[in-house]
Structure 1
Amino acid sequence: MSTPGFHVPTVDLSAWVEEGDEAAKQAAAQAFDEAARTVGFVQVVGHGVPEAVLTDFAAALDGFFGQPLEAKKQLRTPPEVNRGYSPPKTESLSLSLGVAPSNRMHDFFEAFNVGVAVSDFPGLDLPVEDYPENVWPEVPGFREAVSAYFDEASRVAVTLTALFEAALGLPEGYVDAFTDHSVDVLRMNNYALDPGEVVLDGELTGMGAHTDYGIVTVLWADQVAGLQVLGHDGAWNDVLPADGALLVNLGDLMARWTNDAWRSTVHRVKPPIVDGTIRRRRSAAYFHDGNIDALISTLPTCVGAGSPYEPITVGEHLRAKLAGSRAGVANTAAEREAARVLASGSPG
């Protein structure tokens, strides 16, 4: 379903990736600013990620998720460790907004997470609970292919933050102090389960309605229906990536930074069921969330007449969100985002 006239704008990043002329860079920044203020989801092309990297990455996902469930469960980590494998129906993304009953862990996607670790920042005294070391499956080529895509997605995210500076009237390099040891995580998702494994428990939820947590998310996804975005009019809209495009959306910390000029976008996954079978769908979200010790308060160019947001550290914010989605502890500090979900009439 989609609201008539709804579409996700496309922004060409090539001027920023290839250090193009200033006019082209400013045009891209203005186009992103308009999209962020009106839709909140953006297609980006000209991102420079090689096709071979994407092909190998997709094959790596197939290799891991194609293993027996018991083999994948060997890489499961405790809820407080945002790494490794998450089996189906062990998370509830809506609890990160506090809009679902506590302990209703029924999102049926499975996921595998990797991210930055303490060992990536020698010389910095970082908390290991926020920068845990990765666990890797013994799937041939998996680590190499995932690491190659991780590096490319990181580059795109950093490029986007430079564009954000231009779009928001900030000095060049302003964001660096907030992101030079950013808590970045790549979450690889699989929505296709074998027939007979899914038990319909109320309304089937692939991934519950939620906002992303940090600054910006770079999303690779199959061209398969399922992803839905909550528009400013309160209606859910289907979103498919265009050929060769990556999807970009903004997280709660960006909303706080911009005083809601760029709102975090509520989205969910409702994969189609055909003859009782869930269609295959894969995605991978790269979360660029900022330094764990960075204090996020409204940007000087966005304060206006004032801001409803109190300053908060990245760590405080992320821990409350993750306690909801991964540990079943409803987040009570996301009233503004939760209100948008509840107004849609469909909190799951």
Structure 2
Amino acid sequence: MQNIPSVDLGDFLSNDPIRKEKFVKEIGRAFEEIGFVALRGHFLNQQLVEELYNEIKAFFNLPLETKKKYEFPENGGQRGYVSFGKEHAKGRKEGDLKEFWHFGQYVSPESKYAVEYPENILVEELPRFNTIGKETYQMLEKTGIYVLRALALHLGLDEFYFDKYAYEGNSILRPIHYPPITSEPQNAIRAAAHGDINLITLLMGAQGKGLQVQNHDGAWIDAIAADDELVINVGDMLSRHTNNKLKSTIHQVVNPPRELWGTSRYSIPFFMHPVSDMPLNCLENCIDENNPKLYEDITAGEFLHERLVDLGLIKK
């Protein structure tokens, strides 16, 4: 396999049961075999995408002292700015060659999760930054809900099984800036090999080389999407919940060739998390004599805390 499979969400959204079933089979097979797909037919329009890129480029171009105003380590990097080199992959000491921003969930004051989620941080210098970020967040969340519905059908569950866990989930929209590389990196790359923590990740900005996926043979393959596609992958929470039926694939963002060191790279993943009290216990219909239960019972909130410690974003 030289690249990742491509699927069309329009098939699932159609009123044609044959097209809907085709989408369920295609995405289910891809997530069992490689853990990644390229998805077109999502809810982001081109104008919103262009506006978001304009806003995040404007933010990352602000002076460092201005960006630092929006960095709050005490919230574990869950909202606002995280400066260059702060995050590292699990098991590594070298910080990744990136800086990023976090938009989080938007809930009403009456929600039971309102006290659990930090407030989103407003950038005073860029009045459209927060508006465009919120709109993008909500369109990606909407896309993710439909992907999870398709996966529920693939797993033999009720189509709306994940809805109660994904709505008001602890999802994160992360615009990332990989700055130009100015000197030979010391054992560091833009994003070291890792698996994602969450249920699924929806990634904007995989149109150029850089993102690589490790296949079952251990070989790295380029994951490149078309201009109108998102790259979607399985996270560790969903892999754990399905007893590894759906694969959370190791991936990385490699440094560009030396002639492109002087260029920035931007990508915007949406990490779709469930609510913290979702049980990640292995689904009964994913356990049998050939596939014994692999994981202890745990909630999404407990699992997230463990992983944020591993990433160096919060202390034990």
Taking structure 1 as the reference length, the TM-score comes to 0.84
Q: Tell me how far apart the structure 1 counterparts of residues 284 and 164 of structure 2 sit (CA, whole Å).
A: 15
Query: Within the alignment, does 1:113 sit opposite 2:107 as a pair?
Result: no
* Cα displacement (A) at 1:47: 1.3
Once the two structures are superposed, the pairs formed by residues 263-302 of structure 1 within 5 Å of their partners are 263-275=247-259, 277-302=261-286
Quick one: higher RCO (CA 8 Å, sep 6+), 1 or 2? 1
Other-structure match for 1:42: 37
CA contact (8 A) 2:12 2:21 kept: no
Counterpart amino acid of residue 33 in structure 1: G
Letter of the 2:217 counterpart? D
Which of 209, 212, 216 pairs up with 2:196?
212
CA contact (8 A) 2:104 2:173 kept: yes
Match of 1:45, as an amino acid?
Answer: R
Which residue of the other structure, out of 11, 24, 27, is the alignment partner of 1:15?
11
Q: Distance in 2 between matches of 1:124 and 1:311?
A: 26
Gaps of 5+ in 2: none
Using a 3 Å threshold, how does the CA distance of structure 1 residues 51 and 288 change in structure 2: closer, same or farther?
A: same
Cα offset for 1:87? Answer: 1.0
C-alpha displacement at 1:240, in angstroms?
1.6
Whole-angstrom distance in 2 between the partners of 1:252 and 1:45: 23
Q: Deviations over 1:100-157 (max 9, x none)?
A: 2xxx24211110001115xx143333374x5110112121421121111111101101
Partner of 2:52: 57
C-alpha contact 1:227 1:271 (8 A) present in aligned 2: no
**Counterpart check, 1:132 vs 2:118:** yes
- State the alpha-carbon separation in 2 of the partners of residues 64 and 245 from structure 1: 24
What residue in structure 1 maps to residue 2 of structure 2? 6
What is the SS of the residue equivalent to 1:283? Answer: strand
Cα deviation digits, residues 292-328 of structure 1 (max 9, x gap): 1111111232122231111110111111111222437
Relative to structure 1, the CA distance from residue 145 to residue 124 in structure 2 (aligned partners, 3 Å threshold; closer, same or farther) is closer
Identity of aligned residues (%): 29
Letter in 2 for 1:123: E
2:161 paired residue number: 174
The structure 1 residue matched to 2:22, chosen from 27, 31, 44, is 27
Instruction: Give the letter for the 1:314 counterpart.
Output: A
**Pairing 1:163-312 to 2, within 5 Å after superposition:** 163-193=150-180, 196=182, 199-275=183-259, 277-305=261-289, 306-312=292-298
Q: Secondary structure at the match of 1:284?
A: strand
Distance, in Å, in 2 between the alignment partners of 1:226 and 1:276 is 11
| Contact 2:34–2:247 (Cα < 8 Å) also in 1 | no
Q: CA 1:30–1:223 in 2, change beyond 3 Å: closer, same or farther?
A: same
Where does the alignment leave 5 or more consecutive residues of structure 1 unmatched? 331-348
2:309 to 323, 326, 330: 323
Counterpart residue number, 1:344: none
**What's the secondary structure of 2:285's corresponding residue?**
coil
Partner AA of 2:164 in structure 1: A
Q: Distance in 2 between matches of 1:232 and 1:209?
A: 15
Deviations 1:197-246 (A, max 9, x none): xx545223111111111111110015222111111111112222212100
1:152 matched to 2:139: yes
CA–CA separation in structure 1 for the residues paired with 2:77 and 2:63: 23
SS at match of 2:165: helix
Q: Indicate whether 1:90 and 2:86 are aligned.
A: yes
Q: What are the superposed Cα offsets for residues 149-194 of structure 1, whole Å, 9 maximum, x if unpaired?
A: 111101101111111111111112211232232111101101123x
Distance in 1 (CA, whole Å) between partners of 2:202 and 2:286 is 24
- How far, CA to CA, are the matches of 1:60 and 1:222 in structure 2? 18
- Quote the residue 2:65 is aligned against: 70
Q: 1:311 to 1:127 in 2, by over 3 A?
A: farther
- What is the DSSP-based 3-state SS (H/G/I as helix, E as strand, rest coil) of the residue aligned with 1:229? strand
Task: State the superposition RMSD in angstroms.
Answer: 2.0
Query: One-letter code of the match for 2:166?
Result: T
